[in-house]
A and B are shown apart, each in its own frame.
Chain A
């Protein structure tokens, strides 16, 4: 580590301190190390030897790691005690170590310790100072290196102690230890030595050049610790080129040459400008000069006659000659006397001209007069001439014009501003066009976007359409209108209606009109549009409203604030009979309320006072005396939000309602009376109804019964007739031919055999043919022509080929034919007699059932009724209807007993069964009727079910109503199910109807008896 001479000074102090420490600690060997940059450097030592030094370094590291350290170590077989104290900076950073070594362990008393602490502080102080200096120094060095490679460090005698790297490159001949001033020349008498003496530091820039004047540097300096640090920067220009410095641009610190460049640029720009001005002026002056010269040339021939002042001066500035023109104002103005020129400016100019032997043209003004002077040096005589010309009026005119122009311009500007302000703030969009339909002016309402507005000046609608990328239809329209206005020289007004971006309707009134110039030609066209949407809407609204008000059947009266009538619609006029002019101006109080009760007027007045709505019913009398009633609604009217403008009466005609109310009251009274009467009648009626019911049921039954009786009766009838006929045939025909024996045989045979008399024709024929064959085979002995008929007869008698005895007996007869016929007759008789018997039985059964049905006696007492038997009886009655057509399922438990009236129950079942049968009459397919029982712990149920059509759910209740029938065409009474209902009530039973497309059930449930 290098110490500067300053630190060397300091280390002497350190030596002293270490010596003192050694004394007071009575330690032979004391070492002081400085710690910096991770290195320990020995600063001072007492009693050290090289051997020990190596052992020390280990200890020092330990102290660094662990702090204060006491340890023992060996050197060359000798045991040493070591004690190390770290020296810590104020920031608790280790900056040094104080080490003690001896063959005896260090032992310090209190006093010694205290003293040691003081010494440590001193050491610390010294070290910190050194740190500071070191830091400062290293910073400085770093700065110099980084920022500027161009630096020298010299002492007071200009001896170089450090050279910056760039200087090494640029001025390679300069070496360490050289005298700086041998190689460079300072400008402006800059002297190193004297700077050292100066107390103040001069913040200034100095310059030096190298001996060959190839390089020039600007620099500033700093005196630091006895050194002058010169920080320089090369000057680069056309003389001192980059090449001179043996450097390239990258060698310069960037900010340096940027600043340089800027400086250069500015300087050059400035000088350029200046040069330009100067040259301009020069050119101008030249022109003026030339002009003046020309003028003068023309004039100067006769100077005495020249209206412009001409003078000549000697080089002492004495007037040699002046013409008469100069006497007017000029001499006075410029204070030209015999003795000389007393106008300073002129004097100077003249002297200049003399001195420079030159010509100059100037313009001067004195006392409100302007002169253009040409001052010319005449070499031969050493004179100087002045050719002047009074340009006052010209100048004044120019000024005046200029002022005028300025004023005019300002005025116009003001006006323009004023007009623009108006135009820009009108609620209309305004555009001014030239005759070619290009925009000259558009106000902001016309085009909101300033850029587009400015762009459009000089353009037309087609350009706008292109800009906005919209169709040019509107542009074409506008062009047409424009041209028409241009042609006719008259304005046009029209209305534009369109839907805006928000989808709302807008109405704009547009005009284009011509603006004429002084000659009466069209110079501009001005077009504007005013948004009249609201007005149009209001107008339309008004029209609609007035139509409504006029034509409504309800009366409308408008009142002003003072409750005078200002308008009434047709309905009011019609009803009241008055004309409009009779009504307007009348006080509403009188007109409206004159025939009404006072209550109504009071109520309405109060409401109107409070600005509230109100309704009252009023009586009116028309001017023809006709009475009518209205429902009057009163409402206050407002304009805007708060401004009360009047009232509105709306009258609804309620005359009819009033009349009806009266009528209804009357009717009510009558109705009550009627009801009383009818009720009495009803009671009478219901008593007979029960009897009627019974009759109806029977009546309905009768049809079925009649049918049931008809069949057996018919059979009997036809049977009897057939028997009669056959008997006839027997006695008149066949018996005659047969013997008694044969007759007996026939009878016996007929009696025994019960045959199905008739067989189908085809089968009959088949059998006949077969029998014929049989007869032929059996060699009956019959004649061939007879066999066919005989065979047929046998078959007719249903005698089969295996009945040998019978066949033989018959064949043996002489009257086989007649015998066969007789046999047939007997068989017929027996058959029909059977039929008659059977039919008779059937008929009596039907009557029996019917009788049991209508028998009165069993009606009055409640008894045990066996449901199965009860229902069976009914089914028998309907047996005919059921048997042939309907699949009957009768499955009622035979032990179901209830307490009830058996005959009434007949009514119940018969109605249900009959309904079932009748509902299925028109049905195709298999008809099913089921009557079955369901028993559970709570109740007994009988279900009458058919697969007939559905009873719609909305009819299920109705069907039980008296007189409700769907069989009116069958003369249905409509009482059947109402009878059922009555019987159910009597027996404390309920009916439930379940009906769908497939089947309909009537479920009769008898509650279990307690």
Chain B
């Protein structure tokens, strides 16, 4: 097995979305050294992010849904950003006009906002940019 050096995190309370994302990301990333993790519970995601970073694994991005029972995606991003301010965060959501989201954008915490339902192409465009910056082989 190739050594793990990178990871991407997806958080959405709807497993169906996660499944779709998984398939698409697999296609897009197609790289065995990139770990793809899926969480329905944002708190689990947070703790795993800590572990991964501890293990020196470079998290390329975190993709979160907005509407979640435990906390909104905006809150989650804020929490992540407060610890790891350089971590790229993307939001996936059916609600475009939340004040929380606009606040995030104002504070420059959101890398990209992807509206549901999304085209695979939109996702690919958003991600590839980020991967390129990491210059992953």
Contact = CB atoms under 8 A, between A and B. Distances in A.
B131 to A, nearest CB: 16
Contacts of A633: none
B95 interface: yes
Contacts of A757: 19, 22-23
A342 interface: no
A761 B16 contact: no
A761 B35 contact: yes
A758 B10 CA distance: 12
A249 to B, nearest CB: 122
Given A758-B19, A760-B37, A884 B14 contact: yes
A927 to B, nearest CB: 8
Interface in A868-897: 884-885
Interface string B69-99: 1011001000000000000000000110111
Nearest to B117: A714
A968 to B, nearest CB: 13
A383 B120 CA distance: 185
Given A761-B7, A768-B1, A828 B23 contact: yes
Contacts of B1: 765, 768-769, 788, 792
B61 to A, nearest CB: 14
Nearest to B26: A758
Interface stretch (A159-167, A214-222, A717-725): A717-725
Interface residues of B, number: 38
B94 A885 contact: no
Nearest to A714: B117
A885 B36 contact: no
A722 B38 CA distance: 19
A719 B27 contact: no
B40 to A, nearest CB: 11
B43 interface: no
A713 B117 contact: yes
Contacts of A756: 15, 19
Interface in A737-778: 756-762, 765, 768-769
A758 B97 contact: no
B46 interface: no
Interface string A826-857: 00100110010000000000000000000000
A408 interface: no
A724 to B, nearest CB: 11
Interface in B111-137: 116-118, 120
A717 B16 CA distance: 13
B104 interface: no
A885 B37 contact: no
Contacts of A831: 19
A768 B98 CA distance: 42
A922 interface: yes
Contacts of B100: 922
Contacts of A970: 97
A711 interface: yes
A760 B117 contact: no
Contact of A707 (B15, B19, B27, B95): B95
A970 B96 CA distance: 11
B23 A758 contact: yes
B53 interface: no
Interface in A689-738: 707, 710-711, 713-715, 717-719, 721-722, 725
Contacts of B19: 756-758, 831, 835
A715 B67 CA distance: 17
A406 interface: no
User: Which residue of B19, B27, B38, B75 has the most chain A CB atoms within 10 A of its CB atom?
Assistant: B19
B117 A710 contact: yes
B38 A710 contact: no
B15 A718 contact: no
A922 B116 contact: no
A762 B38 contact: no
A758 B18 contact: yes
A718 B68 contact: no
Q: Which of A707, A710, A835, A884 has the most chain B CB atoms closer than 10 A to its own CB? A: A884
Contacts of B18: 758
B15 A924 contact: no
Contacts of B118: 714
Interface string A414-458: 000000000000000000000000000000000000000000000
A992 interface: no
B13 interface: yes
A396 interface: no
B71 A924 contact: yes
A870 B37 CA distance: 43
Contact of A711 (B22, B23, B71, B117): B117
Contacts of B117: 710-711, 713-715, 717-718
A470 interface: no
B120 A718 contact: yes
Interface in B46-73: 48, 67-69, 71-72
A757 B21 CA distance: 11
Contacts of A921: 98
Contacts of A719: 20
Given A761-B37, A921-B98, A714 B116 contact: yes
Contacts of B72: 924
B1 to A, nearest CB: 6
A129 B125 CA distance: 164
Contacts of A924: 71-72, 75
B20 A715 contact: yes
B99 A835 contact: no
A758 B38 contact: yes
Nearest to B36: A761
A922 B35 contact: no
Interface in A924-976: 924, 926, 970
B26 to A, nearest CB: 8
A634 to B, nearest CB: 68
Candidate in B71, B99, B117 with the most chain A CB atoms within 10 angstroms: B117
Contacts of B13: 884
Interface string A394-412: 0000000000000000000
A725 B37 contact: no
Contacts of A713: 117
B60 to A, nearest CB: 12
A759 to B, nearest CB: 8
B37 to A, nearest CB: 5
Nearest to A839: B16
A884 B13 CA distance: 8
B9 to A, nearest CB: 9
Nearest to B75: A924
Contacts of B48: 762
Given A758-B18, A884-B13, A710 B23 contact: no
A11 B77 CA distance: 153
Nearest to A725: B27
Contacts of B69: 884-885, 926
Nearest to B48: A762
Contacts of B39: 760
Nearest to A706: B94
A970 B102 CA distance: 13
Nearest to A792: B1
B35 A710 contact: no
Given A714-B118, A765-B1, A885 B67 contact: yes
A760 B38 contact: yes
Contacts of A769: 1
Nearest to A791: B1
Given A762-B35, A922-B100, 20 more contacts: A707-B95, A711-B116, A715-B16, A715-B17, A718-B20, A721-B120, A757-B23, A758-B18, A758-B22, A758-B26, A758-B36, A761-B36, A762-B37, A769-B1, A835-B19, A884-B14, A884-B67, A884-B69, A885-B68, A924-B72
10 contacts: A711-B117, A718-B24, A757-B23, A758-B22, A760-B37, A762-B48, A835-B19, A884-B67, A885-B68, A922-B98
Give 9 nearest A-B pairs by CB, closest first: A714-B117, A758-B22, A761-B35, A718-B20, A761-B37, A760-B37, A761-B36, A707-B94, A884-B67
